[in-house]
Structure 1
Amino acid sequence: MTSSLADHLRALPDDGLMGLIRLRPDLVIPPPSDFSALAHRAQSRVAVARALDGLDTFTLEILDALRYTRVGHTSSVEAVLALTAPAGVEAARVRAAVDLLRAYAVAYGPDQAVRIVGAVDEVCSPYPLGLGRPAEQLDPVAGALVGDAAGLRRTLLAAPPAARAVLDRLAAGPPVGTVTPASLEPGSDSPVRWLVDRHLLVAVGRDAVELPVEISLVLRRDAGPLGQLHPDPPPMEAPQRDPARVDHAGAGQVLELVRNAEALVETIGAEPPAVLRSGGLGIRELRRYSKTVGVDEQSTALMVEIVTAAGLLGEEIVDTKRVESVFLPTVAYDAWRAMGIAARWHRLAVTWLTMTRAPSLVGQRDDRDRPINALAPELSRPGAPAQRRAALQVLADLPPGATAAPAAVVDVLAWRAPRRITRGVSAGVEASLAEAAFVGLTGFDGLTSYGRLVLEELASDTVDADDPLGLNSPDGMALIGSAALLDTLLPAPVDHVLLQADLSVIVPGPPEPGLAVELELLGTQESASVYRITPDTVRRSLDAGYSAGDLHALLARRSRTPVPQTLTYLIDDMARKHGGMRVGSANSYVRSDDESLIAEVLADRRLQPLNLRRLAPTVLASRHTPQRLLEALREAGYPPIQEDATGAAVLARPKVRRGPPRPTWAYRGVEDPAAGVRLSTPRLAGVIEQIRRGDAAARVARRAPVTVRANGAATASHTEALEVLQQALRDKTRVWVGYIDAHGATASRLVRPVSMGSGYLRAEDERTEMLHTFALHRITAAAPEEG
């Protein structure tokens, strides 16, 4: 029978170790040197707390039962079954909970001798099952009262209703309550004072009382010693809807998300905002983008975070001396925009599910009472991806088409992970569900069919763990799985438009990429499906190199309705005037074959600030740049074009700035390297093989002379040596300590740690019956005593 966790882990087969690492990937980041190091890491406070955070309410209740039934260092499954029998819980479910604790390495050993790792008592309540200490330890008079069963029963029956309510509250756990000092003073008429005077409660300070365990067990006689158990999650009200309606509602939001995200990035690209010195996007810019895109500020902040995490938005340094940067669309945005709607949405949805950001905190106050901006470093939350997927998994466990209110989802999550779901976290869960609806993963509070597939893809190996967002995918996120299913729900892209007499262009569906580019140049977007052609947009097309014939052919090919005569006249009229006046550099000049037109420009009072001078009947000169001259002439209603030094017309397409494909400042660090880690089977096998080899080498080293161990062969680092000492202190076992003495020589000693703190280890050498003090910085190695 193994007596230590290291021996237990060493005896596990590879499949068992793989199961443990999949449940607790933080144990192998970085890979431990041997099984002793793995056991020390698994028993550390942080690792144990993280493992318990993933356990449900019933499993934690069974863990408390194991702690309560311990005799020495071990408990047994039979003792736990004896406690759970009065509650009517099936024995198989209790054994399954114990097996789950073993799988997490929180407990280990056979059924008749189950051991619990020491750090469990440090991170859990000091009162297992919510039961206090024996009455004899608290107060001898209280011990005498509980020894008289009949007298205890009479005293409990005589308790006033208010006092009995206090007893019932403490009996449910925890058994310690805080009170005001005045309520404990003699002569007080408070129910607590009544209970203390009759020794049903024991005062354990000026403002605290404790309920003895014997009285708690009497009050729990109906439910049993464990009290009320929760083997099942709370029932949920899940109204059923037609799954097709849920899918179509989500698909409609998908179209809105993709359209709004594209509009947001285009707006940012047109006027790149500056990056705040503290990091993030300014509040005024966020409000301006909210009005431009047509969504509320919280949704705009969410989209900003998503497109940045997806690599569509980045930073570019514009001033190296002042280290000033601006936000710009990246080159990846152009590739994303060329994809289909389903593929574009898939990129955004997977990004939202995997990004370690909390957009719902935008606008709230930080510790210094300053508002938190979008893209600010303060929004980093390593646990955010797990929280989102956990909330959606509750919906995924329901039948297709079933819906659930956010409060019901929070209640279920509070049962599945009670240590994680607090008041603040529950608000985060509700915010995650609202964001899921905005992203289009849910509809009518129900999970869509393609949303289920996205969760399955993330849980499997479909998404590469090294590239979860598909940034390096050669095919640009091909339509497979959830994206392919979504594509069947979306309207087919259209390659045609409907021209109206008022020069509006109606697009009867999402435009294909080629049509979208043409519409962006030829018209101004007024809504999701309406564009408008104006003289400025026609001139913009002519500046880009289109001729009047090209535009007529384009409209005839794309329109399913006759081209309005007014539009034909507009194009011909703008083409006839287009290029009739030309601008060059003198600094700049204006020339035209039409002398009357030149005279009109010279006499135009609106152009007097340009200080135009007539060089010839057909030429005017200006001291301003050609670009400034062009803008002024166009504002005055003239249609000039620019020419180069040879007299050839200069084609003018809108310039598009693109930033480098690197993440913003807010995404350059990950606080928790173990958050969301998913290791593939080959990588797990390699880690386990490395641990076994290191363990074999360490066992050989331990057989060497003690001086070799003192030189560091027993442990791989000073940190691991401290972990060994902490574990020995908890288990009250002896340990070899290697250290550097006052003369600079290496030495070792077999001791039993007594305390460790303030930079020193105090330990007892049982052979000499002396207490030694070691400076922690002088300790080089530590190894448990071989049995």
Structure 2
Amino acid sequence: MEMRSFSDYLRSVDDAAFLNLFSARPDLITPVPPDIASLAVRACSAPSLARAIDSLNQWQFQVLEAAAALNEPFSLKSIVAITDKAASSALDHLISIGLIYPSDDGMRLPSQLRDVIGNEPAGLGPASVAKIKVAEVEKAPPESKKVLERLIWGPPRGSVGDIKNPGPGVAWLLEQKFLVPLDQRTVILPREVAIHLRGGKVHKENFIVQPKLAGAKRNEQQVNLAAIANISTVLRWVEELLNFWADEPSDALRAGGLGVRDLKILSTHLGVDESCTAFITELAYLASLISFDAQDRIMPSNKFDIWLMQTPADRWQVLASQWLITSRVSGLVGRAESKNVAALGPELDRVNASKVRALTLAILNENQGIAPELASFNEVIAWRAPVRRNSSLQEELASWTLREAEWLGITGQGAISKYGIEFLGGEDLAIINEDLPKTVDHILIQSDNTAIAPGPLEHEISQQLAMMADIESRGGATVYRFSEATIRRALDHGKTGDEIKVFLTKTSKTPMPQPLEYLIADVSKKHGKLRVGNTSAFIRCEDTALISQIMNDKRLEILELRRIAPEVVICDHDATDTMRILREAGYLPAGESATGIMLTGPRSNRALTKPRPPRVIGEIEIPTEENLNAAIRAIRTGEKSTHKQTHLRQAANEALGALPRTTANETMDLVNKYILEEKSLSIGYADNNGAVTHRIIDPIRVSAGALIARDHATGEVQSFRIPRITGVAPL
């Protein structure tokens, strides 16, 4: 078979070659093209070629640049001459993924490939139009050699003051055609001259082998211990975040996302920096554990309750699997160059994020037991992916992935852990449930109004204690601190002072200190004396002295209070804001309904709207082998159909000059014959106005005086009235 084009090459390859091509470039069969001609058009399109080039390592890309620097057709020998003997294996790979293809007279590049690579591959200019003797460049005067030294390794363009009076060095080069003028102020070095001056090579250095990853060696046991601690921590972070939002939902920004002020509040609550807080919020968002309600408040979704009922391994896998494939990059939050990017905002998508993330973890997996140095790691990832889209972000994406993998527990002390290895291999992660520290059902209350949890608490105890105390420090043991504000919070949630004392006495293995008892009793006594409702808001208190104190408190002037009765004060602020301002001033109000009932009780807000996880932007997943084989069969079938259609169109064109003419009996005999033989027919058919047109059909059956057949022009099954058929001819 003669091969003159990329389409001809694709028609010549076998199914195994198609399997390799589609595995490396799944975008070619998403969706499946109808035939090989359409496949060739898609494979030669700029977006598809860009994706294919992104998959190359540095050496493969250097060989491709060298091929782009040669005139077509070229041979393996010419590629090796300007690169290295190792170019042979790289060339085989480039052919297998369709970036180079063999033709009858040598190898060629698909159309548009040079445009995707750039007009100056490897810093080389265009080929010279005029014939030049490149060896004569060695005779260049010293001034000309200085000019050439600046242009040898690119960029090949240089500026001159005036092309008509360029100076002696440039003038000699222009005269000998070793420089070519582009305009009045620009000259360019021809490709042949540059390659000769480079010693017959295209690149200054050939990066044939991947750089060795440098880093500190880690003990496997210590790595796994650190990783399981990180897994426990990240699960606790997500749970604490969502419990906080269940109690105090944040308001989303008008443009979408979480405001800087709310991010700082969350950061303080979790005890981590803002970059880590942004990462935790993104984890919850990706796993559909949070939702934005109709009032644009951010709060847990109903899926959070389901998530809490799962095993730790399942909970962790939900978070890690979504993080691995997402195109969202939480590291952009707080970045100096991205001042307007907000956590949970719509600006966090980057098309190559998941690719860089997967590549980073793959390098860690290949170098188990090593915590890489960042500079060395960047060298390795630059060799593995030298021309990624958004390449300016590549190093930052890799460093953010290393940091986030540590937070997640995929790595420990910088090296990949056994949990990360099993996660990447798709293994069962039940080992996480076994290795996590066992939960404890008790605390140790101290005399300074603190309590120590000597390990991870059972879920119910943890929830109750989080209501009554704030976490002061985290680690192997968690320290909780009781204060007036935390006891008031528990009372707001419907607890009584006695219930708080009973819970702490039952849960603590140490006796409750007297100062804590007094604190609980004192806050319980004060709590609820003030009642706040909506007028916008009213404040009611049976203690008239306390009402007088509030009216005279300058810290509450912002409320613009008005006393309408000895025990009632009203204001224009909302009840929620009024309660917040009173609490900041040291008072302990409680909510009250319109019927006078004190509004206390457990508050666990859940969004009524269905969570909408972000879509993944960017890369196409590699199909399964079954899907690949199905796509190959569809393309082969479509190609046969296209070939048949071409043949029929040619036959139709030849018959247009003489429409078939047959009698009615001959028409019926031929129609019945070719229905049985399932062959195509050429017919003349008269329309409503008597004009006869030529049709190519596949007859199916005769029914009620009409021929039912598939019309090749439309591809649809149509009904042809037999009296209107002027003649039938076989093809």
Which position in structure 2 is the counterpart of 1:656?
A: 605
Q: Equivalents in 2 of 1:698, 1:515: separation in Å?
A: 70
Distance of 2:175 and 2:330 partners within structure 1: 54
Shift of 1:448: 3.4
Q: Secondary structure at the match of 2:98?
A: coil
Which whole-Å CA distance do the structure 2 matches of 1:508 and 1:374 have between them? 33
3-state secondary structure, aligned to 1:705: helix
Q: Are 2:358 and 1:381 aligned? A: no
Partner Cα separation in structure 2 for residue 670 and residue 278 of structure 1: 20
Q: d(CA) in 1 for partners of 2:458 and 2:314?
A: 13
- Residue 289 in structure 1 maps to residue 235 in structure 2: no
Match in the other structure for 2:419: 450
Q: What is the alpha-carbon distance in structure 1 between the residues aligned to residue 6 and residue 276 of structure 2?
A: 49
Q: Distance in 2 between matches of 1:621 and 1:288?
A: 34
Task: Judge conservation of contact 1:179–1:209 (CA < 8 Å) in 2.
Answer: yes
Counterpart secondary structure, 1:526: strand
Amino acid at match of 1:42: A
Offset, 1:251: 4.3
SS at 1:525's partner residue?
A: strand
Question: 2:670 — aligned with what?
Answer: none
Q: Choose which of 126, 134, 142 in structure 2 pairs with 1:159.
A: 142
Distance 1:226 1:491, change over 3 A: same
Distance change in 2, residues 1:405/1:657 (3 Å): same
1:211 aligns to what? 189
2:356 matches 1:412: no
Partner Cα separation in structure 2 for residue 662 and residue 329 of structure 1:
9
Query: C-alpha displacement at 1:418, in angstroms?
Result: 1.9
Shift of 1:385: 0.8
1: CA distance, partners of 2:6 / 2:177: 43
Deviates more, 1:6-15 or 1:695-704: 6-15
For 1:275-354, list aligned pairs within 5 A: 275-318=252-295, 325-339=296-310, 341-354=312-325
CA-to-aligned-CA distance 1:698-736 (integer Å, 9 cap, x gap): 232222225989xxxxxxxxxxxxxxxxxxxxxxxxxxx
Q: TM-score, normalization: structure 2? A: 0.73
* Structure 1 counterpart of 2:151, one-letter code: L
Give the CA deviation at 1:21: 2.0
SS of equivalent to 1:239: strand
Task: Kindly report which structure 2 residues correspond to 1:637-676, keeping only aligned pairs within 5 A, or say none.
Answer: 652-663=601-612, 667=614, 672=618, 675-676=619-620
Deviations, residues 37-73 of structure 1 (Å, cap 9, x unaligned)? 122111112211221121122212333444556654x
Q: Deviations over 1:180-230 (max 9, x none)?
A: 435x563647x6567556764343333333334453344333x65666422
1:773 alignment partner in structure 2 = none
From the superposition, tell whether residues 605 and 682 of structure 1 become closer, same or farther in structure 2 (CA, over 3 Å). same
TM alignment of 1:183-194, pairs within 5 A? 186=165, 188=167, 192=170
Q: Is the 8 A contact 1:582 1:643 kept in 2?
A: no
Task: Answer yes or no: is the 8 Å Cα contact 2:410–2:417 preserved in 1.
Answer: yes
Aligned: 1:517 with 2:486:
no
Evaluate the alpha carbon distance shift between residue 364 and residue 746 of structure 1 in structure 2; reply closer, same or farther with a 3 A threshold: farther
Contact kept in structure 2, 1:356 and 1:385, CA below 8 Å: yes
Does the C-alpha gap of structure 1 residues 207 and 372 become closer, same or farther in structure 2, counting only changes over 3 Å? farther
- Matches of residues 74-223 of structure 1 in structure 2 within 5 Å? 75-81=74-80, 83-84=82-83, 87=84, 89-90=85-86, 94-109=87-102, 113-126=106-119, 131-132=124-125, 137-138=129-130, 143=132, 146=134, 149=135, 152-153=137-138, 155-156=139-140, 158-159=141-142, 164=145, 166-168=147-149, 170-173=151-154, 176-181=156-161, 186=165, 188=167, 192=170, 195-196=173-174, 200-221=178-199
In structure 2, give the amino acid aligned to 1:43: C
Mark the CA change 1:453 to 1:192 in structure 2 (over 3 Å): closer, same or farther.
Answer: farther
Give the alignment partner of residue 439 of structure 2, picking from 486, 493, 501.
Answer: 493
TM-score in terms of structure 1 length: 0.68
Which residue in the other structure is 2:719 paired with?
none
The separation in 2 between residues aligned to 1:707 and 1:302, in whole angstroms, is: 66
Checking the alignment, whether the CA contact within 8 Å between 2:590 and 2:599 is kept in structure 1 is no
Contact residue 581 and residue 590 of structure 1 kept, 8 A: no
1:152 Cα deviation from its structure 2 partner: 4.1
Q: Offset of 1:314 from its aligned partner?
A: 1.9
Matches within 5 A, 1:250-649: 250-318=227-295, 325-339=296-310, 341-363=312-334, 371-398=340-367, 400-420=368-388, 422-457=391-426, 480-481=428-429, 484-487=430-433, 490-528=436-474, 529-534=478-483, 554-567=503-516, 605-606=548-549
Q: Distance in 2 between matches of 1:580 and 1:435?
A: 45
SS in 1 for 2:250: coil
2:39 is the alignment partner of 1:42: no
* Distance apart, 1:274 and its partner CA: 3.2
Moved more, 402-411 or 342-351: 342-351
Over 3 Å counting, the alpha-carbon distance change for 1:53 and 1:225 in structure 2 is closer
In the alignment, the residues of structure 1 paired with residue 503 and residue 137 of structure 2 have an alpha-carbon distance, to the nearest angstrom, of 96
Deviation at residue 282 of structure 1 after TM alignment:
2.9
Asked whether the equivalents of residues 251 and 490 of structure 1 are also in contact (C-alpha less than 8 Å), the reply is yes
In 1, the alpha carbon distance for the partners of 2:294 and 2:439 equals: 38
Q: Within 1, Cα distance between the matches of 2:205 and 2:372?
A: 26
Gaps of 5+ in 2: 552-560, 654-691, 695-713, 716-731
Say if 1:2 and 1:109, in contact at 8 Å, map to a contact too. no
DSSP-derived class of the 2:215 partner: coil
Counterpart secondary structure, 2:648: coil
CA distance in structure 2 between the partners assigned to 1:111 and 1:552 by the alignment: 90
State the shift of 1:285 in Å: 3.1
The 5-angstrom pairing of residues 672-711 of structure 1 reads 672=618, 675-706=619-650
| Change in CA separation of 1:206 and 1:370 when aligned onto 2, cut-off 3 Å | farther
CA–CA distance in structure 1, aligned partners of residues 454 and 434 of structure 2: 17
Distance 1:637 1:119, change over 3 A: closer
Tell me how far apart the structure 1 counterparts of residues 539 and 349 of structure 2 sit (CA, whole Å): 56
Q: Is the 8 A contact 2:531 2:589 kept in 1?
A: no
Q: Which amino acid aligns with 2:30?
A: I
CA distance in 1, matches of 2:455, 2:29: 51
2:556 corresponding residue in structure 1 = none
Change in CA separation of 1:311 and 1:684 when aligned onto 2, cut-off 3 Å: same
**Separation (CA, whole Å) in 2 of partners of 1:676 and 1:66:** 28
On the 8 A contact 2:56/2:384 being kept in 1, the answer is yes
- Partner SS for 1:418: coil
Q: Look up the equivalent residue of 1:167 and give its one-letter code.
A: L
Pairing of 1:6-25 with structure 2 (within 5 A): 6-10=7-11, 12-25=13-26
Q: In structure 1, the residue corresponding to 2:263 is in which secondary structure? A: helix
CA distance in 1, matches of 2:534, 2:89: 87
**Does structure 2 conserve the Cα–Cα contact (< 8 Å) formed by 1:77 and 1:111?**
no
Code of the residue aligned with 2:380 in structure 1: it is: V
Query: Would you say the 8 A contact 1:405–1:445 is kept in 2?
Result: no
Question: Which residue is equivalent to 1:233?
Answer: 210
Structure-1 residue corresponding to 2:710? none
SS state at 2:294 partner: strand
What letter is aligned with 2:99? V
Distance across 2 between alignment mates of 1:445 and 1:293 = 23
**2: CA distance, partners of 1:630 / 1:327:** 21
Q: 1:194 to 1:284 in 2, by over 3 A?
A: farther
Q: Deviations over 1:615-674 (max 9, x none)?
A: xxxxx899999x8999999999789998998x999862224243523226xx3x5554xx
Task: Confirm or deny: 8 A CA contact 1:407 1:430 kept in the other structure.
Answer: no
How many angstroms does 1:389 deviate by? 1.7
In the alignment, the residues of structure 2 paired with residue 402 and residue 78 of structure 1 have an alpha-carbon distance, to the nearest angstrom, of 40
